[in-house]
């Protein structure tokens, strides 16, 4: 609930306004309308400021929010006291000025009545009385006794004026009390809203704390699983490394055997090659021995 409150700068006075001469007489209605317009302007100017402050304070921590709320309430109280004081002073001045104007009007009316009475008395003195007028004096005295003197009229007018001003004062006091009650009600509503928002924030914080606790437990469980997986991987790496070493040793042994077999085969091949060469040489020698024997057989006759 955003409540518009007059700013703390409304109390400050401006040099240009202080230099200007103040008027001696003011109307009550004019003062009220001017004050209402000022209050409306200050309220309209402060509404966006207060909204911005609320938006900025939402993301802050609880301590800063509490300090800001306390400072804001202090400024609110100061502003309301200052505004109420100025309002009461202006009303008091307006009432005094209206009283003075009313008394001046009464004095001027009394003077005009006295002057009119004097003029009428002078005219009556100048005029001569007839017998009928003298005889009618008895009847006129009764009517004159019924009419009130000007002093009684003045007292009645003063009583009416005091009653009128008392009514005005009562009405102003009632309005001030109503405004104070409205401000108190608004302040209570604001406090209730703050309490509700703080309770909601507490609930949200508790929910987030529960979620954070669950996430922390999950992270710890995953860390334990990671440690177990790392240990398993180490064991598998060791097993595989031992198996590879064994495989390498068996392969090297087989290679050595194959090399021995190759050497044996090469030696056998060389021996066989030598035997072949020997056989070839033998065949060549036999062939050379057979050829001359055949020639001798051909040339000798039987």
Residue 201 lies in a domain: yes
Residue 301 lies in a domain: no
Residue 15 lies in a domain: no
Q: Distance of alpha carbon 132 from its chain centroid, rounded?
A: 94
Residue 104 lies in a domain: yes
Identify the CA nearest to 98 among candidates 47, 30, 195, 4.
Answer: 30
Instruction: Assess contact for 112 and 39: CB atoms under 8 A.
Output: no
Q: 3-class DSSP state for residue 127? A: coil
Identify the CA nearest to 6 among candidates 183, 159, 248.
Answer: 183
2: left (phi over 0), alpha (psi -120 to 50) or beta: beta
Residue 19 lies in a domain: no
Residue 114 lies in a domain: no
Question: CA-CA distance, 161 to 155, in Å (whole number)?
Answer: 10
Residue 125 lies in a domain: no
Please give the residue range of the domain that contains residue 168: 79-108+156-287
pTM of the full predicted structure?
0.24
Domain count, the chain: 1
Q: Would you tell me how many other CB atoms lie within 10 Å of the CB of residue 42?
A: 18
Residue 231 lies in a domain: yes
List the pLDDT tens digit at each of the 302 positions of the chain. 455 555 555 545 544 444 444 444 445 455 555 565 556 656 555 565 556 666 665 555 566 666 777 778 878 777 777 777 777 778 777 777 777 777 777 777 777 777 776 666 554 444 555 656 666 665 554 444 444 445 555 565 566 667 777 777 788 888 888 888 888 887 777 777 676 777 788 888 899 999 999 999 999 999 999 999 999 888 888 888 777 777 777 888 888 888 888 899 999 899 888 888 888 888 888 877 665 554 554 544 44
Structural tokens at position 4: 């518009």
């Amino acid at each position: 609930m955003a409540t518009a409150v007059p700013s703390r700068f409304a109390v400050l006075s401006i040099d240009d306004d202080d230099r200007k001469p103040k008027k001696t007489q003011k109307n009550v209605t004019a003062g009220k309308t001017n004050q209402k317009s000022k209050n409306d302007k200050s309220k309209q100017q402060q509404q966006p400021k207060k909204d911005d402050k609320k938006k900025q304070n939402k993301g802050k921590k609880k301590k800063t929010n509490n300090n800001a709320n306390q400072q804001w309430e202090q400024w609110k109280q100061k502003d309301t006291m200052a505004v109420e004081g100025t309002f009461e002073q202006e009303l008091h001045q307006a009432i005094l000025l209206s009283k003075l104007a009313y008394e001046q009007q009464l004095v001027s009316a009394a003077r005009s009545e006295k002057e009119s009475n004097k003029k009428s008395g002078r005219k009556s003195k100048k005029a001569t009385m007839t017998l009928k007028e003298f005889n009618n004096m008895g009847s006129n005295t009764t009517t004159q006794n019924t009419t009130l003197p000007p002093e009684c009229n003045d007292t009645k007018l003063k009583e009416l004026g005091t009653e009128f001003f008392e009514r005005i004062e009562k009405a102003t006091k009632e309005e001030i009390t109503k405004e104070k009650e409205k401000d108190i009600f608004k302040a209570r509503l604001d406090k209730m809203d703050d309490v509700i928002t703080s309770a909601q924030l507490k609930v949200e914080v508790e929910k987030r704390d529960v979620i954070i606790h669950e996430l922390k437990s999950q992270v710890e469980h995953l860390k334990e699983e990671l440690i177990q997986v790392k240990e398993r991987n180490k064991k598998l790496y060791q097993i595989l490394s031992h198996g590879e070493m064994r495989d390498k040793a068996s392969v090297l042994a087989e290679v050595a055997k194959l090399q021995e077999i190759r050497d044996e085969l090469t030696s056998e091949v060389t021996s066989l090659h030598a035997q072949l060469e020997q056989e070839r040489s033998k065949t060549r020698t036999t062939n050379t021995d057979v050829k001359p024997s055949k020639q001798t057989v051909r040339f000798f006759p039987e």
